[in-house]
Amino acid sequence: MERKTFLMKINPDRREAVLQGISELAPRILEEAERLGVGNFSVWSVSDILCGYGEYARDTDLDAAPELRELLERVIDGSAELLCPTGSMRLMYHDIGIVRADKSLIRHRVFVTKLKPGCAEEYKRRHDGLIAARGDAVSEGPDSNFTIWYGAGYIFGYCEKVKAFDREMTEQEKQDTIAWETRQLEIMDWLTDDVDWITGESHEHIRRIV
């Protein structure tokens, strides 16, 4: 199985029409994804960005389905630009842990940021440090099936948070999170609302479309 992602940018004036059209096609998209051997497929949107995640059983993608592609092109109608085709985004971080096949046991944390110019390697270096600190340990949670991807200046993170581990952060965990996220603001800007509680800013909450 291979994890793959894609990234699109929607014309802001057409955003709601495009998202509604794709949402209406969701059952057919998921049916076709399953036929092609793509599991755990989802599409998410925030601001003018549309991003997708899937777990591919073989070397194929949704573009291989002519009928589906025709339907999507009709819905998008020239109102979106494909920034990163399926499989072209760079993996920047991973913490797979123990993946729950039963998705009722998890909640999603999906986020999007925009890196400041020239900061991709620094972002990767910082996250490589997290992987090194974790070593070979496999965690049961709270993070599961966690990957972060980069392309066209954007970061797309997909994570399955295990509900059984849900609890309030300790004071030390809060301080550690604030320190990490404040430092990350040196190299990126958020599109989703993940750190609004730290910065006092207001961003959209990401929406699942498919």
The whole-number average pLDDT for the span 104-113 is: 97
Q: Please, which pLDDT band fits residue 210 given cuts at 50, 70 and 90?
A: very high
Task: Give the H/E segment covering residue 71.
Answer: helix 66-76
User: 114-126, pLDDT tens digit by residue?
Assistant: 999 999 999 999 9
Residues 6+ away with beta carbon under 8 Å from 62: 29, 32, 33, 36, 38, 54, 68, 69, 86
The whole-number average pLDDT for the span 4-22 is: 91
The whole-number average pLDDT for the span 13-17 is: 90
What integer pLDDT is reported at residue 71 of this predicted model?
66
Q: What is the DSSP string of 146-161?
A: EEEEEETTEEEEEEEE
Q: Please, which pLDDT band fits residue 111 given cuts at 50, 70 and 90?
A: very high
For domain 90-208, the CATH class is alpha beta
User: 145-177, pLDDT tens digit by residue?
Assistant: 999 999 999 999 999 999 999 999 999 999 999
From 107, 90, 96, select the one nearest 208 (Cα to Cα): 107
Two structure tokens written together for 53: 């995640």
How far, in Å, are 25, 32, 36, 86, 117 from residue 65 at the CA level?
Answer: 14, 8, 8, 13, 36
What integer pLDDT is reported at residue 60 of this predicted model?
61
Q: What is the mean pLDDT of the chain?
A: 91
What integer pLDDT is reported at residue 28 of this predicted model?
86
Residues 6+ away with beta carbon under 8 Å from 174: none
User: Residue 46 pLDDT > 90, yes or no?
Assistant: yes
pTM of this structure: 0.91
Q: Please, which pLDDT band fits residue 6 given cuts at 50, 70 and 90?
A: very high
For domain 2-84, the CATH class is alpha beta
The whole-number average pLDDT for the span 27-55 is: 90
Where along the chain do the CATH 3.30.70.1090 domains lie?
A: 2-84
